[in-house]
Structure formats: structure tokens, C-alpha cells
């Protein structure tokens, strides 16, 4: 390729690159992101026993899952698991006795709940930052 052909290609490329950002519409697109329907639950199990985790809404328990001893796990909860009003989180040791409880929680969709299960189950707690 000759030097004049290279410079012509360079000029065309520079013009196309400078015009490309202008091809976008001046009208911003409306945000159509769906509203959050559920919430995120992060469970920190500081107990050495594996725990079954439950959400209790209007007296009806729904099993969320299991968290291995001395570990953490994240769950996605659907709106049906925590209802429109308050609910409680419970954790029961697998192969043990007692239970950890968050106490009543009122959470809106799209939020994150942190539930910490302590070695002494009565000291377990939940926070919603």
C-alpha cells in the first residue's frame, strides 16, 4: 500500500471514530428495569453445627436452606417467603437442639438482610443496613 493510500485510510478512520459517538439518539431511553421482587439474605454461621434456616411469615415456616457450620451462605428470597408484613428468620441446628432467631423483621423488596448465627444461639441477630 502506498503512503498516500495509508494516509487516506487513516483520515477516513479518524472521521468515522469522531462521528460514531454522534450517532446516538439525543433522547435518553427510559429506564425499564423491573422493580425488585425479593430480597437477599446473607447468613453468617459462627456456630460449629450445620444449620437449617427458615423464614416464618404469618406463622407459616418456609425452609430457605442449609448453612454449613463456621461458614457463610447467600440466599435469594422471593416475596412469597417473607410476605408483605413482618417475618422472622429461624435457624435450627442439624443434629442438635435449640434455635437461633432474628426476631421480627420488616423488610422491603430489594434489600439485603444479614443474619448472624452465634455459638450461643440466643445471641444470634439480624441487621438490615
Q: What is the pLDDT of residues 79-123, one digit of tens each?
A: 877 666 789 999 999 999 999 999 999 988 899 999 999 999 999
Q: Report pLDDT digits (tens) over 4-53.
A: 555 544 554 454 445 445 555 555 555 565 556 789 999 999 999 999 99
What is the domain-level CATH number for residue 93?
2.60.40.2890
| 123 within domain boundaries | yes
Question: What's the whole-model pTM score?
Answer: 0.71
Phi/psi for 29 (5° steps) reads -75, 140
**68: closest CA among 46, 83, 84?**
46
Regarding beta strands 39-45 and 112-117, do their DSSP bridges make them parallel or antiparallel, or are they unpaired?
Answer: parallel
How many domains does the chain fold into? 1
Domain that holds residue 97: 39-127
Residue 29 maps to a domain: no
Which uninterrupted H or E stretch holds 80?
helix 79-82
Amino acid at each position: 500500500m502506498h503512503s498516500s493510500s495509508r494516509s487516506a485510510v487513516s483520515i477516513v478512520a479518524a472521521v468515522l471514530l469522531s462521528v460514531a459517538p454522534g450517532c446516538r439518539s439525543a433522547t435518553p431511553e427510559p429506564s425499564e428495569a423491573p422493580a425488585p421482587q425479593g430480597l437477599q439474605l446473607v447468613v453468617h454461621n459462627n456456630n460449629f453445627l450445620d444449620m437449617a434456616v427458615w423464614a416464618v411469615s404469618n406463622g407459616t415456616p418456609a425452609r430457605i436452606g442449609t448453612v454449613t457450620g463456621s461458614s457463610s451462605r447467600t440466599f435469594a428470597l422471593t416475596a412469597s417467603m417473607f410476605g408483605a408484613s413482618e417475618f422472622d428468620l429461624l435457624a435450627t441446628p442439624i443434629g442438635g437442639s435449640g434455635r437461633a432467631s432474628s426476631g421480627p423483621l420488616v423488610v422491603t423488596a430489594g434489600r439485603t438482610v444479614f443474619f448472624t448465627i452465634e455459638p450461643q444461639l440466643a445471641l444470634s441477630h439480624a441487621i438490615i443496613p
